[in-house]
Structure 1
Amino acid sequence: MLYALHELAYSSAQPFRLGAQMARRFWTSPLNPASETAIGRTAYASAELFESVTRRYGKPAWGLETITIDDQPVRTTEQVIWSSPWVRLLRFARNVGDLKRAGKPAAAPAVLIVAPLSGHYATLLRGTVETFLQDHDVYVTDWVNARQVPMLEGRFDFHDYIDHIRTMLAQIGPRAHVVGVCQPGPPVLAAAAIMAAENDPNRPASMTFMGSPIDARLSPTVTNQLAEARPFAWFQSNMIHTVPWPYPGFGREVYPGFVQLYSFMSMNEQRHKDAHWEYFRDLVAGDGDGVDKHEHFYDEYLSVLDLTEEFYLQTIDIVFQSHLLPRGLLEHRGVPVDVTRITDIGLMTVEGEKDDISGVGQTQAAHTLCTNIPEDRRVLYVQPEVGHYGVFNGRRFREDIYPRTRDFIAKNETLCAVSSRTTAAA
């Protein structure tokens, strides 16, 4: 019912949005002598603000057709390597000729960036992907909005997620490197443990976890406390809603993206109010830089996707309430997940000192759990003065975190090559 009411509210506001769009054109027309007056600017800003907070934000474009490497433009081609109804495995192939002009080798370590499936589209990691493209052959998980998946495609749960990670690593090939950003931490670690136990040739050479709730019991944040404060049945009764017609996933039970968005925004309600008030003032003043900065952030932040009921509820149970992975109780398809079987996969954890979603200690718990990874293949790093998003995006990520991650991947790439040669010689 809530989903249907949400759609009704959006549809009901359509005439007012059209009116706001007409008002914008009227007050910005060069034929309107009042367009540059204080009244005209204020009227335009009011219409623009109303339209921006009531519009439907679709999936953003990646916009990585050309990147800059060492001050040289390098073209990339977005390729779909593999897909299922739930995800597209994308590769951003760099142009070989452009790489030569930039002084970069064509061959580079393959890196799978596992984007979070927690409400936002994978394009939230656009800056992360662009930065990794400086030195790597980059693949990324582009998750599909559950409301776009017909009921005939079946279910998608936590264990399907683990299977998808394994399949995508196999599609990339032996000993790629995997980077899990936020939510993917536990299922990616589980997938690596299963592949290590089976001596799977496609197991990753290294795994990097950024702001991930490997053990959500440590340094609990408001998000963790909310997940534990309510009984599991409460989430079943209050957070799951039915996709309405005419979406392709009509009838599917989901955790709607707009519910997740409202939850996140309510955690920092005053900050968002202040941001929109500042946006209004910048519109009145004609401050293009301030307007562009606001729109760039919120065009991405307000674009959300739905999660399947089964994936969302299992994540609440496995990760945030029962803590099965850190307690050594997680099973996948009837087989225990034993992270101590990981012996030749490098491990790096990155946390933000001011992370209010995954507290300091939750990600680095992976080091405590993975007891058989050699010390020379471990990196534990806490970035000062950054919150959750600063762990994988922004200036400090580019200048401080990424160089450490790049060096960690390069070291493990070399160690894997040496190990492969030794094994072949034996």
Structure 2
Amino acid sequence: MKYLLTYDFMESMRVTNQWLGSTARAMCSYPQLGLIANPAIQMTAAWGEVMERSFARMVVKPDWNIHSIAGDDGRDHSVIVETVVTRPFGDLIRFKVQGRAPTGRKVLLVAPMSGHYATLLRSTVISLLPDCDVYITDWHNARDIPVSAGKFDIEDYTLYLVDFLREMGPDSHVIAVCQPAPLALAATAYLAEEDPAAQPRSLTLIGGPVDPDAAATDVTDFGNRITMGQLERHMLQRVGFKYAGAGRMVYPGLQQLSSFMAMNADKHSKAFTDQILRVAKGDASDHDKHNKFYDEYLAVMDMTAEFYLSTVERIFKELEIAQNRFTVAGKLVDIGKITTVAVKTVEGGKDDISAPGQCVAALDLCTGLPASKKASYIEPEAGHYGIFAGKSWRNNIRPLVLDFIDANCDVPKTPIKDMAAE
């Protein structure tokens, strides 16, 4: 019961802070207060506006907000987000571009389940849509999934990817971003033995912890330092009474967010201080750079306890993927069985979450794959987010990934658009 109450206490604190922000904003926005020459009033109203918006975003799943793209025919083509496969813990969705012929590049973008929604990859989707038929894994918030739906751990995650690839059929290509990189590798190896016809043509792994011990970071140090008992005692709680998943044991999104913010506390503190000043001076806007980033960054989701614990124990502590000892439903998944799927790794030279060396380790595990089917790339100046979003992704990494896809598929393809020129 204490876990239920603790979860509800966190939500109560969030609501309280949202209320404090809205109250400060409303009280300090009365026109009569404009007669008082005191900048503290404007600053308090600005603080309230930023506070209210920030805490309100924490429980809202962001929209994709992808409505259309420009086509080669000079027309805007509407984009429809349609659900292809529905599962309790996550769906396979497709961004269907109306009135456009197939591009020849059917891409499954595997989104991380690490505290944020799949919409964290919105800019990645937008950058791929002109050249690819894009599908993505849309993971659900664990707080909204009834206990009756059962468990969801890294083996279930892997089998979800297997099912999604089977649904997409042949001639598909996988791009796995961050956390799912080792599990996407395992899902491909699983298909190599169980259903070779459903294997993707290529697999691109971006900044993922295939071998966490290959290069130490704060994340890997934490995983090695803390015990599983400590994680269970201090990180897990039961979903409160307000949600459909009441009673489910989870790693709460709000608790994850506090960890994210603590990793770069000075940077976030300065960002919010600067935004309050901009609001007070009237220089901020609803969709400015700060709001665009933090509306997404602050929107967090709960993770099932079993997924969190199995990730830490089996990926980071036991190194089951790194040592090719990963099992699914009691069956060993041999990564060496991958013999036809081209594998490329992408890393950021300044990635402080999955440091260079962790992801490229996947190539050594693919012992059955010829060297001609392997590739790797390091973007020297990119951090963790830069390798799948921003200028480094658009101008340098994206063209290389699309060229890699084209080199490993015989399906006729449309010409690649140059994002740097737009």
**1:194-251 deviation per Cα after TM superposition (whole angstroms, max 9, x unaligned):** 1112343111111001010000011110011001101121111111111010210000
Equivalent residue, structure 1, for 2:55? 54
Matched, 1:94 2:94: no
1:284 shift after superposition: 2.0
> In the alignment, what sits opposite 2:83?
80
Counterpart for residue 5 of structure 1: 9
Summarize the Cα distance change of 1:14–1:178 in structure 2 as closer, same or farther, 3 Å threshold: closer
Are 1:408 and 2:404 matched, yes or no? yes
CA shift, 1:72, in A, is: 5.5
* Cα distance in 2, alignment partners of residues 109 and 15 from structure 1: 47
Equivalent residue, structure 2, for 1:341:
337
Native 8 Å contact 1:24 1:48 kept in 2: no
C-alpha distance 168-36 of structure 1, shift in aligned 2 (>3 A): farther
Q: Distance in 2 between matches of 1:401 and 1:187?
A: 22
Percent of aligned positions with the same letter in both sequences?
37
Where does residue 423 of structure 1 map in the other structure? none
Greater shift in the superposed pair: 372-381 or 156-165: 372-381
Normalised by the length of structure 2, the TM-score is 0.91
In structure 2, distance between residues paired with 1:116 and 1:211:
11
Picking from 103, 122, 125, the partner of 1:126 is 122
Structural mapping, 1:223-302, within 5 Å: 223-288=219-284, 292-302=288-298
Distance 1:409 1:32, change over 3 A: same
1:299-345 Cα distance to aligned partner (Å, 9 max, x none): 10000001111111000011110001111211111111111110100
For 2:97, the aligned partner's letter is R
Amino acid at match of 1:54: F
| Structure 1 residue identity aligned to 2:55 | T
Instruction: Give the conservation status (yes or no) of the 8 Å contact 2:210–2:358.
Output: yes
CA positional deviation for 1:372: 2.0
Alpha-carbon distance in structure 2 between the residues aligned to 1:113 and 1:88: 12
Matches within 5 A, 1:18-57: 18-23=22-27, 26=30, 38=39, 41-57=42-58
Structure 1 residue 318 and structure 2 residue 318: aligned?
Answer: no
Shift of 1:17: 3.8
Q: For the structure 1 residues 164 and 34, does the alpha-carbon distance in structure 2 shift closer, same or farther, using more than 3 Å as the test?
A: farther
- When the two chains are superposed, the root-mean-square deviation of aligned CA atoms in Å is 2.3
Which consecutive unaligned segments of at least 5 residues does structure 1 have?
100-104, 418-426
Aligned length: 407
Separation of aligned partners in 1, 2:176 and 2:346: 10
1:112 matched residue in structure 2: 108
Distance apart, 1:114 and its partner CA: 0.5
Provide Cα deviations, 1:135-191, integer angstroms capped at 9, x if missing partner.
Answer: 111000110000000111111111111110011111111231111100101111111
TM-score, structure 1 as length reference: 0.90
Determine which of 217, 230, 238 is the counterpart of 1:221: 217
For residues 324 and 416 of structure 1, what CA distance do their matches in structure 2 show? 38
Query: What SS is found at the alignment partner of 2:397?
Result: helix
Secondary structure of the 1:413 match is coil
Mapping 1:187-226, distance limit 5 Å: 187-226=183-222
1:144 aligns with 2:140: yes
Partner residue in 2 for 1:424: none
CA displacement 1:84-138 (0-9 Å, x = unmatched)? 1111211001122xx4xxxxx5342110001000100000000011111121110
Amino acid at match of 2:176: G
Structure 2 partner of 1:371: 367
Quickly say closer, same or farther: Cα 1:34–1:106, change in 2 above 3 A.
farther
- Which is worse superposed, 182-191 or 4-13? 4-13
1:264-287 CA distance string (max 9 Å, x none): 110110010010111111112222
Preserved CA contact (<8 Å) 1:175 1:416: no
1:76 corresponds to which letter in structure 2?
V
Q: Structure 1 residues 17, 47: CA separation in 2 closer, same or farther (over 3 Å shift)? A: closer
> CA offset at residue 19 of structure 1?
1.4
Quote the Cα distance in structure 1 between the aligned partners of 2:197 and 2:353. Answer: 34
Q: Residues 54 and 35 from structure 1, CA distance in 2 versus in 1: closer, same or farther, beyond 3 angstroms?
A: farther
Distance 1:128 1:14 in 2: 31
Indicate the SS of the match to 1:217.
helix
Q: Which runs of 5+ in 2 are unaligned?
A: 414-422
SS across alignment from 1:381: strand
Which one of 303, 325, 331 corresponds to residue 329 of structure 1? 325
- Decide whether the 8 Å contact of 1:23 with 1:47 is kept in 2: no
Moved more, 69-78 or 87-96: 69-78
Match of 1:67 in 2: 69
